[in-house]
Structure 1
Amino acid sequence: MPEPLKSKDKHGAPFTRPPEIEASLGRLEAVDAAARLQAFAVASRKSSGYVPSEALTYFLRRAWAADARDEFKQIFELLMKRVEQSLYSTVADSRMTGAQGIREEIMGRFAERIAKDCQGRFAMLDFFEVRFDLAFARFRKTVLRQIGPASVLTVPLSTDGDEGQDISPEVEAAAADFLGGDPQKIDDPAFRLELDAAIDALPDDQRRVVGLLRQGFQIDSKDSNIMTIAKMLKCDERTVRNRRDRAYKTLRSALQEDA
């Protein structure tokens, strides 16, 4: 029998999955992991064998809880592939400047949400088990609002060496401060969680600056076509730099204490 969800709605009632999702989970629990993975691999919604993403989310969480790491990895890859496909239509290259970078940012943040849920700190995927498409649409819009206007040229943070996607000096400086001179730390999920928690604890004005720097935005630019942090926050570049410096000092102290 599928495990109940922990989250509650605004009226205090526990989240419940739609009957068709509960039925799907029941059928999938009756078969072995290999059969489930084969069913999860069906990508077309029009196929009679298509498994809803709500079910993939449920079994992804269950695989982690059961320490079935290989099964978790395979479900994770299938779910992220679905997410990527959905973003090609909602964040299309023809509609947004730098759409590829934006899609990668959204997917990266969704992967972080999964990581936080796995650590048991938050029930961050409960709503995705109830209505995945609606939950992800809200998540996507939240990220887009945080990133800022996508109708102007931006400078995305690049880590894969794509041609023409050099990391700005501001972003390099931000990375050096965040990672204590060791860029490989960003690959450590535990460190990412600690960093996110420390950033969340910053005052609002400092947290916004740090968040935008992490996303690759420049503080200021002579090019009027580039959306900068100063423009988005409607303040001068000196104010932005002061907020950044105060935030870095706080983050370094917090992360050193955690270490």
Structure 2
Amino acid sequence: MARSLRKHKLDGTPYFRRDKVEFEIQALAEISAAELERRADLWQVNDPEFVSPEALLYFVRNAAAGAHRDKLTEKLLLRVARRVPSVADAGGKTVSLTKMNIREDVRDHFVDLLLSDRKQYDDRLDYYEVNFNSAVAADRRDANAQHWKHENRTAEIETEDGEVSAQVELAVGDYNPFDADELDKKDYRRLLDEAIDSLPEFQRRIVVMWRQDIPIESNDPSIESISKVLGKSEKTIRTHRDKAFASLKLRLERKGRT
């Protein structure tokens, strides 16, 4: 008999797998490991040998550590990926970094649950055994809300002609990502470095040089300046510095560090 689920609803009643899934698990328990692996590769739902994701998850959670469990886990993660829209066009080229981040977040969240469950039973996975597609869809909605909100905020950083928007100028104000008090905090430095590395290359170079106290412009030809090194006007450098600072502020706000 299949192991019972432990999670309870808000009214105190326990979660139950659908009868169809329970019968499926009982039938699959009678076949060999190799046969289960073969059938887990089938994608057509109307195929009589198709293994539902709920049943596949059951065996992933209950199989002993080893090659068999690893193979089933790999096949299950492919099921997760199929529930999230593709990020590539017909030629296989990635067309949306935001969609890619959403896809990775959904997968990473599911992997985290699996790893947690392997250490100690994690009842958050129980709902996936009840309705796998619905559970993944909920994860996708959460990731969508988070990432598209961030993209929309980032899009407000500049106007159509490439100038820094008045809203961003106001938001950045006298913001300084290299505030001495913040830099004394190891966690802040790590998050800041990660945020800087994520900037467009031109903005990243400006920020790195700014961090090294290299001036944007200098009337002294013997003094190295950001404008001189990058071969851009002072206005261009300041514009991209402000865009970079706005991006850093947004990213660090998401991490709860500003």
On whether the aligned pair clears a TM of 0.5, the verdict is yes
Aligned-residue sequence identity (percent) comes to 24
Letter in 2 for 1:127: Y
Amino acid aligned to 2:65: A
Residue 68 in structure 1 maps to residue 65 in structure 2: yes
Structure 1 segment 124-163 matched on structure 2, within 5 A: 124-149=124-149, 152=152
TM-score (norm 1): 0.58
Q: CA deviation at 1:126?
A: 0.3
User: Who is 2:204 aligned against?
Assistant: none
> Which structure 1 residue ranges, 5 or more long, are not aligned?
155-168, 182-208, 246-259
Across the two proteins, how many residue pairs are aligned to each other? Answer: 185
Q: Does 1:86 align with 2:99?
A: no
Query: 1:97·1:153 contact (CA, 8 Å) conserved in 2?
Result: no
> Residues 16 and 130 of structure 1 are in contact (CA less than 8 Å); yes or no, is this contact kept in structure 2?
yes
Q: SS of the residue aligned with 1:117?
A: helix
1:84 offset after TM fit, Å?
A: 1.3
Distance, in Å, in 1 between the alignment partners of 2:6 and 2:125 is 10
Note the C-alpha offset of 1:117: 1.6
Q: Distance in 1 between matches of 2:12 and 2:104?
A: 35
CA distance 1:21–1:43, change in 2 (3 Å): same
Indicate which of 237, 242, 253 corresponds to 1:222: 242
Distance 1:73 1:41 in 2: 14
5+ residue gaps, structure 2: 155-176, 201-239
SS at the partner of 1:37?
A: helix
The answer to whether residue 72 in structure 2 is matched with residue 45 in structure 1 is no
| Match in the other structure for 2:257 | 244
Work out whether 1:110 is the aligned partner of 2:110. Answer: yes
User: Which amino acid counterpart does residue 129 of structure 1 have in structure 2?
Assistant: E
Shift of 1:80: 0.8
CA-CA distance at 1:230 after TM superposition: 4.2
| Residues 221 and 112 of structure 1: CA distance in aligned 2, closer, same or farther (over 3 Å) | farther
- Give, in whole Å, the separation in 2 of the partners of 1:217 and 1:120: 39
Which residue of structure 2 lines up, in the alignment, with residue 3 of structure 1?
3
Q: Alignment RMSD, CA only?
A: 4.2
Q: Which amino acid aligns with 2:85?
A: Y
Contact 1:217–1:227 (Cα < 8 Å) also in 2: no
On the 8 A contact 2:98/2:147 being kept in 1, the answer is: no
Is the contact between residue 83 and residue 133 of structure 2 (CA under 8 Å) also seen in structure 1? Answer: no
CA distance in 1, matches of 2:255, 2:78: 40
Shift of the alpha carbon at 1:110? 1.6
SS of match in other structure, 1:244: coil
Quickly say closer, same or farther: Cα 1:92–1:144, change in 2 above 3 A: farther
Question: Could you state the TM-score of these two structures normalised by the residue count of structure 2?
Answer: 0.58
8 Å Cα contact 2:5/2:14 also seen in 1: yes
CA deviation string 1:208-247 (max 9, x = no partner): x99x96xx699x97339x9847458xxxx8xx599538xx
| Cα separation, 1, equivalents of 2:10 and 2:254 | 39
Cα 1:49–1:81 shift into 2, 3 Å: same
CA separation of 1:100 and 1:227: change in aligned 2, threshold 3 A: farther
